Amino acid sequence: MHVDRRQLIGTGAGAMAGMLLSPGAARAATAAPRTYVLVHGTYHGGWCWRYVAERLRAAGHRVFTPTLTGLGERAHLLSPGIGLETHIQDVVGLIEAEELSKVVIVGHSYGCFVITGACDRLRERIEHAVYLDGPAPDDGDRHGGFRSREEIERAMGPLLEGAYLPVRKEMVPLFGIPPSDTVNTAWLERRLTPHPAQTYLDPIRLPNGGSTGLPRTYVFCNRAGPRSALRRYAEQRRQDPSFRYRELDCGHAAMVVVPDATANLLVE
């Protein structure tokens, strides 16, 4: 059904939820509004949450989609010195500047490292941590386990200017975008930007335990290949009683390919 956005002006949150969310999410929208902070992964920006954010806002929730330094609309700030701590501070700074509390913080892929660091710094402000198809790291872990630029290049190919993970056209299908979905394929091809490699090399430091002890959920996008590290991460957390475990029937970029199901799960 096509919805004219002008028709939404003056409409109550419950009615908007009924138009823009599937029935399950519309029913859940009667719950008290929540505050969501949605953190993107490698190559992306806050823009990738557009579809999910629209649905959550229509249901009456507050939604923030920060773009990490050097990516998306902040690509002009890209520099070799950007590390994991830079990105953690991006999210911590947002939460503090907006004076947010009872935050449902969501990380996708590499963003799971970022939200773990934010949980460690701001435990009292986090209501729930959601790990969307990415690792839930322990103190000292590195994203991908890489310890040098040479290891990254052996696994992922040459770095751009020796410092950045380059965007390659062939990577878009790896995010689970079906070949028939030419609109979203073109959208990602236009918007993905190089990612600072140092963020993969920095070990995460969690003096306060990261998200351990907080309510948290692990979400596996179950169309990952049989040898995918994502499948290994999911199995670890499925057996971990400190996590609720959920699955989405899609490829890696759930927020793009199944925004209704992703929004429904977050409202749940």
Catalytic residues: 109
Cβ count near 68 (within 10 Å): 28
Contacts 24+ apart (CB under 8 A), 73-82: 73/45, 73/46, 73/47, 74/45, 75/193, 75/194, 78/164, 78/193, 78/194, 78/196, 79/196, 80/161, 80/163, 80/164, 80/196, 80/198, 81/198, 82/196, 82/198, 82/199
Which of 175-187 are b and which e, b meaning 16 or more Cβ less than 10 Å from the residue's Cβ?
bbbeeeeeebbeb
